[in-house]
A and B are shown apart, each in its own frame.
Chain A
C-alpha cells in the first residue's frame, strides 16, 4: 500500500464514522418504530396540531427575521461603522447561550410582571403560554442563521455593480431591490430555510416561555416523561420524518433554481 493510499483510507474511515454517527440514530428510531403505531400517531389530533403549531410558529419567526434582519445584514455586509464587530458578535450570541438560559432571559423581560411584558399585555399581546411566545423563542435562538447567511449573500454581490447602477441614475433603494436583492436571493432563501429548520427544532427556550400550547419537541418530551420511551418514539419518528421531508424539499427547490 502506498503512502497516498494510506492517507485516503484513514480519511475515508474517519469520515464514515461521522456520517454513521448521524445516520444510525435516525435509522435506529425508524427501525424500532412499527409502521402501525406510526400511522396511529399520524392520526392523533394532539400530534397533528402540535406539528402544525411548530411549523407555523417557525414560519412566523422566519418572516419576522427576513423583514427586520435583511436591512441589518445588508448594513453589516456593506458599511464599516464603529461597533460593527460588536453588533456582529451580538447577533451570534444566541448560538452560544444555552437555550434553557435563553428561555429564562426571555421570560424575565417578556413575562407578565416585566415592563415590556406588561406593556404588550395592555395591547392584548401575551408571550407566556401563547403561540406568540413560541415564535419569539424560536426567533431568538435561530435568528443568527438568517442574518449571517444574508450578510454573506450581500457581501458576495460585487459593489461595483451597485456603483454602476448609481451612475446610471438608480437610487439606492432602486439599486437594492432590482439588483442587490435578486443577486443575493439564493443566500437569503437558504438562510431562511436554515433558520426555519433551527426554529422548529427548538425545545429549551420554548419549554420555559410556553409549555402550552405544545410544540412538537415539547410533546415528545412530555410523552417520554409521562409514558416512557416506547410511547414517545412514534411521535419522535414522525416529527423527524416530516422535518426531513420538508427540509429536503426546500433545499431541492432552491438548489434547482440556482442551476
Chain B
C-alpha cells in the first residue's frame, strides 16, 4: 500500500502536488497525463529517488521518507530502459541479485529470462538490442529482485502496436502470477490504461485531477481537462462474433455492428460526440439504430451532455441548439444512431 498525504515537491519551476493518493497492495494503477504532467517525478517520489518538500509518503504503513531507495523493494523501469551499457544482458539482470549477494543468481536470471522470452539474449551486449528486447531486459532486471512495487514509466510507448499488445499480455500474466505485486504504470495511451488498470489516475501540471476505476474516469470525467484528455467515452466490455461475416460486438444487453478483423473478448468505446440523436424513426438497417430514453441532461457551455438509456447507458454530446430544436428533456423518447466506424474496438 502506497499512501501520499499532501505530498509536494518543487523542482526548478515545476511543482508536484499537493498529492493525496492511496494505492492498494496488489493493485494495478495507471497514471495518465500529457508529458510534463509530473508523472515520472511522482514515480521517483514513490521510489525514493526524489525527496519531498512537504507532506508524507507511507509504504506498507511505514514512513517511507526514512527509507532510501535501496531499501524500498521497488523495481523501476525508466521510459528509455536505462540498461547499463557496460554490462551484457545477463549482468544487467543479475545486477540487483549480485548487490544482495544472492546465492541463486544463475537460476533466477534464467527463470525470469525464460518468462520474458529473452533467454537467448543473455550473453548479448545491450546496445544492439531492439526496443522491445531492451524493454524485456529492463523488466526482467526489475522483476528478478522480487520487488513489492513495480514502477513502469511508459514501458510500451516506443514499441510498435503488435509488440506492445504482446507485452501487455505478458505484464498481465506476471501480475496474475504475483498477486502481491503492486504495479504503477505511466502512459498516455488510453487503450493501454483500459486494458491493464484497476485504477486510473489522470495527472496534469503536477496534480492528480481524477482517480478511480477506468470506466468511471473515462465515462464520467470530473473536469474539462480530464474530459478533453481522455475524451468523454462510452466503454463496454463484450465479445466480437461474426454474423454472416459481419463483425458484431455483443454485450448482455445490446449488439453493435462494428468494423474489425478479430474475434473474441473485446472492449468497445464510442466517443460521446460521435453519436447522433434524432426524433425521426429510422429505417436504415445498415446502421446501429436504437430506441432510448433521455435519463439525464447537463449543460456544458455550448454543449449538452445527455445520458440516454438504450438498454445500457450511453453518454452523448449534442449542441445546445439541436437539443432545444428537438425539445429534449429528461424522460423524452428518442432514437440514437451510431455508425459502425464510430465504434472503436480492441482486444480485451
Binding site for B on A (CB under 8 A): 158, 160-161, 163-171, 174, 179, 182-183
Contacts and interface: CB of A to CB of B under 8 A. Distances in A.
Ranked 9 nearest A-B pairs via Cβ: A168-B96, A166-B69, A167-B76, A160-B82, A182-B86, A169-B99, A164-B82, A170-B99, A163-B49
B95 interface: yes
Contact of A161 (B47, B69, B82): B82
A176 B80 CA distance: 21
A161 B82 CA distance: 5
Interface residues of B, number: 24
A169 B100 contact: yes
A167 B75 contact: yes
B78 A164 contact: yes
A164 B76 contact: yes
Interface string B44-60: 10011100000000000
Given A163-B69, A163-B76, A164-B78, A169 B85 contact: no
Given A163-B78, A168-B95, A170-B95, 16 more contacts: A161-B84, A161-B85, A163-B76, A165-B84, A165-B95, A166-B68, A167-B75, A167-B142, A168-B75, A169-B70, A171-B70, A171-B99, A174-B99, A179-B84, A179-B86, A183-B86
A166 B74 CA distance: 10
Contacts of B85: 161, 183
Q: Which of B70, B74, B76 has the most CB of A within 10 A?
A: B70
B145 interface: yes
18 contacts: A160-B82, A163-B78, A164-B78, A164-B141, A165-B84, A165-B95, A166-B49, A166-B70, A167-B72, A167-B75, A167-B142, A168-B75, A168-B96, A169-B96, A169-B99, A169-B100, A179-B84, A182-B86
A49 B86 CA distance: 41
Contact of B74 (A160, A161, A167, A171): A167
A168 B141 contact: yes
Contacts of B141: 164, 168
A147 B86 CA distance: 23
Secondary structure class of chain A's binding surface, majority of residues: helix
Contacts of B74: 167
Contacts of A183: 85-86
Interface of B: 44, 47-49, 68-70, 72, 74-76, 78, 80, 82, 84-86, 95-96, 99-100, 141-142, 145
Contacts of B76: 163-164, 167
Nearest to A157: B85
Contacts of A170: 70, 95-96, 99
Nearest to B47: A167
A161 B49 CA distance: 12
A74 B267 CA distance: 51
Contacts of A169: 70, 96, 99-100, 145
Contacts of B82: 158, 160-161, 163-164
Contacts of B78: 160, 163-164
B86 A168 contact: no
Contacts of B69: 163, 166-167
A186 to B, nearest CB: 11
Q: Which of A165, A171, A182, A183 has the most CB of B within 10 A?
A: A165
Contacts of A174: 99
Q: Which of A158, A160, A168 has the most CB of B within 10 A?
A: A168
A169 B71 CA distance: 7
B49 A168 contact: no
Contacts of A165: 84, 95
Contacts of A158: 82
A164 B96 CA distance: 10
A257 B58 CA distance: 47
Contact of A163 (B44, B84, B95, B96): B44
Contact of B145 (A161, A163, A168, A182): A168
A178 to B, nearest CB: 8
A17 B100 CA distance: 60
A158 B81 CA distance: 11
Contacts of B75: 167-168
Contacts of A171: 70, 99
Contacts of A166: 48-49, 68-70
B70 to A, nearest CB: 5
B42 to A, nearest CB: 14
A183 B141 CA distance: 19
A171 B70 CA distance: 7
A168 B68 contact: no
